[in-house]
């Protein structure tokens, strides 16, 4: 049984909204609140929460997910940027010692230094910035996540055809899976498109060690500069012809295979081959490093 506090912990005061804003005000953030209890249970079950876990919830609203999360987790850190919702949420979670309400913008907030998970029905309008904040830095101790987002975005994140080097870098460290679809009627206000639960799990053995993250990003940006290029042509300035022939044989692929259809394991083999057999001066640099050099 959890200990009860008289008042919940509330931090931050960075809301950009009017504290007197009513629930009927326009939804500027792209937030569609989940009200189906079965879907809430499915979302939490997807993340396999235990009593040892610290959970971040992004866009807590009125606590439909917050309170069930607190039943299973050690601590729930609930971000909410709307002052009106924060006040209502405070009343709902009063007495819960393992819920910390952060009144502020998640994108400006700090992530825990200890391992954490994310369970959230995120604002759809900032899906990619949220995932970038969670996944971009290899040292961020995110362990797993269950996130509700638009199904079109989830299909892009889980596609077998890879055209985005940033997404590829994320997937070298995390497994992503579209778990189940959710109809618009489960939300208020209902979105115009179907939604889904996306699971994100940190790989026990990532394809690329964290310390090599920037070097892999350089290779990914170079290899996917034109996703339609065949494998052999995409990497012709990185590897010698004999190396390319050996790589294709080792991977069991044709040199004409489009580079965008390579999977994470194949990218891992290509990257390790570059580390082992290609002089470092020939390694592709990230666009960030190239820009810094010009500046």
Q: Give all domains of the chain, ordered by start, each with its CATH number.
A: 9-202 (3.40.50.150), 210-294 (no CATH)
Cα 267 to Cα 168: distance, rounded to the nearest angstrom: 9
Q: What is the pLDDT of residues 285-295, one digit of tens each?
A: 987 655 444 44
The DSSP code sequence of 192-250 is SS-EEEEEEEE-SS-SS-GGGHHHHHHHHHHHTSSTTSBHHHHTTTTS-HHHHHHHHHH
- pLDDT of 251 higher than 70: yes
pLDDT-based confidence at residue 22 (cuts at 50, 70, 90): very low
Q: What is the pLDDT of residues 103-160, one digit of tens each?
A: 999 999 999 999 999 999 999 999 999 999 999 999 999 999 999 999 999 999 999 9
Position 287 scores a pLDDT of: 78
Least confident of 27-31, 166-170, 192-196, 265-269: 27-31
**Pairing relationship of beta strands 75-80 and 54-58 according to DSSP bridges:** parallel
Q: From the annotation, which residues make up the binding site for S-adenosyl-L-methionine?
A: 32, 34, 59, 80, 105, 121
The mean per-residue pLDDT over the stretch 221-245 comes to: 96
Binding residues: 32, 34, 59, 80, 105, 121
User: How does pLDDT run across 69-112, given as a tens digit for each residue?
Assistant: 999 999 999 999 999 999 999 999 888 899 999 999 999 999 99
Pairwise CA distance, residues 172 & 153, whole Å = 18
pLDDT for res 128? 95
End-to-end Cα spacing for the chain: 58
Phi, psi of 182 (to 5 degrees): -130, 125
Among 91-105, 174-188, 219-233, the least confident range: 91-105
């Amino acid at each position: 049984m959890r200990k009860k506090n008289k008042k919940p912990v509330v931090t931050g005061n960075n809301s950009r909204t009017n504290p007197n804003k009513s629930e009927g005000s326009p939804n500027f953030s792209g937030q569609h609140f989940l009200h189906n209890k079965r879907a809430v249970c499915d979302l939490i079950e997807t993340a396999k929460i235990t009593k040892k876990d610290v959970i971040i919830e992004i866009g807590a609203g009125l606590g439909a997910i917050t309170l069930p999360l607190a039943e299973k987790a050690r601590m729930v850190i609930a971000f909410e940027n709307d002052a009106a919702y924060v006040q209502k949420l405070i009343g709902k979670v009063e007495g819960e010692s393992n819920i910390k309400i952060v009144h502020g913008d998640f994108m400006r907030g700090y992530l825990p230094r200890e391992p954490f998970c994310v369970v959230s029905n995120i604002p759809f309008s900032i899906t990619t910035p949220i995932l970038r904040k969670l996944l971009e830095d290899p040292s961020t101790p995110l362990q797993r996540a269950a996130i509700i987002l638009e199904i079109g975005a989830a299909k892009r994140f889980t596609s077998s055809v890879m055209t985005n080097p940033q997404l590829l870098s994320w997937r070298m460290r995390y497994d992503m899976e579209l778990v189940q679809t959710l109809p618009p009627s489960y939300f208020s206000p209902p979105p115009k498109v179907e939604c889904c639960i996306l699971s994100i799990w940190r790989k026990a053995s990532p394809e690329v060690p964290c310390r090599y993250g920037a070097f892999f990003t350089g290779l990914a940006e170079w290899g996917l500069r034109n996703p339609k290029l065949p494998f052999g042509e995409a990497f012709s300035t990185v590897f010698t012809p004999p190396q390319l022939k050996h790589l294709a044989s080792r991977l069991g692929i044709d040199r004409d295979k489009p580079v965008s259809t390579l999977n994470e394991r194949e990218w891992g083999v290509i990257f390790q081959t570059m580390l082992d057999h290609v002089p470092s001066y020939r390694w592709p640099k990230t666009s960030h490093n190239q820009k810094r050099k010009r500046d």
